[in-house]
Amino acid sequence: MQKVALLGLGIMGGGMAGNLLKEGFPLTVYNRTRQKAEPFAVQGAQIAATPAEAAAGADVILAMVGDDDASRSVWLGEDGALASAKSGAVAIECSTLTTDWVRELAAAADEHGCKFLDVPVTGSRAAAADGTLTLLVGGDGETLAAARPVLEAISGTIAHLGSIGAGATYKLINNMMAAVHLTALAEGLTLAEKAGLNLEALVPLINTGAVNSGVVRGKLPRMIEQRYGDLDFALKWLEKDVRYALELGEAEAIRLRTAQAALAVIEAAREKGYGDMDMAAVLEGTRS
């Protein structure tokens, strides 16, 4: 069975680690805060002090971190995973990152003799815990085939979208569209409340109407209850993803007007102190 290293044990990474262990993969984990790694040692994982230590001897190396800077820190440098990765290992970046950095990372992996896949994920905290994430894959089919046993352990759907960068590109588009859905919902609820409507009475109409979507259905209860703790996905990461999408749009000479408007609402909520809370807190960006 393939030996696996996993770098990053947040909400998504933690769920992935749990499922890899359930499927019997020998697993070494690294997290910047060791405390988050300790529960997985009880389940059989080895804890590494650095990404390089985690990656040593691994057949497949997965990373799930917050942004481009965090990704650089776990992959590059003398303590980075690529410094110790064996020749032929498959390096898999699952984080939501810029397409430019993903392609740069792929080149760095190649220089170190590693294969590379760009595999951001979609799905909720529950999907990560249940092993039913959707994986958005960029890379060649041969490398995907080599890594498939590991990827199947953490996912319900594996979508091969094209060459390296394709996964990162669609993940930014996906999260940009989700942000637009959420900010439209937030503005609609705020307007309805100001106009004197009963928000609870609107819930079934939204859930069964044309304005419904997966992200709307998922976040509507939190918005109605103003329940932003015990987060699924932090507002600050949604802000980062929309910024990355806007950068991509600029590079492609496309003006993403609705995404820009969504970012303004997200920024307003973050400036009120909701950045570390669930992204449903975007509702607070619509309130005076």
Residues with a known catalytic role: 171
Q: What are the b/e assignments for 232-247, b being 16+ CB within 10 Å?
A: bbbbbbbbbbbbbbbe
Q: Hey, what amino acid is at 138?
A: G
What distances in angstroms separate CA 252 from CA 163, 175, 184, 247, one per listed residue? 18, 17, 25, 9
- C-alpha–C-alpha distance, residues 268 and 274, integer Å: 9
Beta carbons of 76 and 55 less than 8 angstroms apart: no
Nearest to 216 by CA among 227, 203, 229, 226: 203
Contact 8, 74 (CB under 8 A): yes
Q: 71, exposed or middle or buried, with CB in 10 Å at 0-12, 13-18, 19+?
A: buried
CA distance 200 to 255: 36
| Cα distance between residue 89 and residue 83, in whole Å | 12
SS3 65: coil
Which among 72, 65, 91 is positioned nearest to 5, based on CA atoms? 91
Question: Cα(first)–Cα(last) distance of the chain, in Å?
Answer: 56
Distance between CA 124 and CA 108 in Å, rounded?
31
Amino acid in the structure at residue 102: V
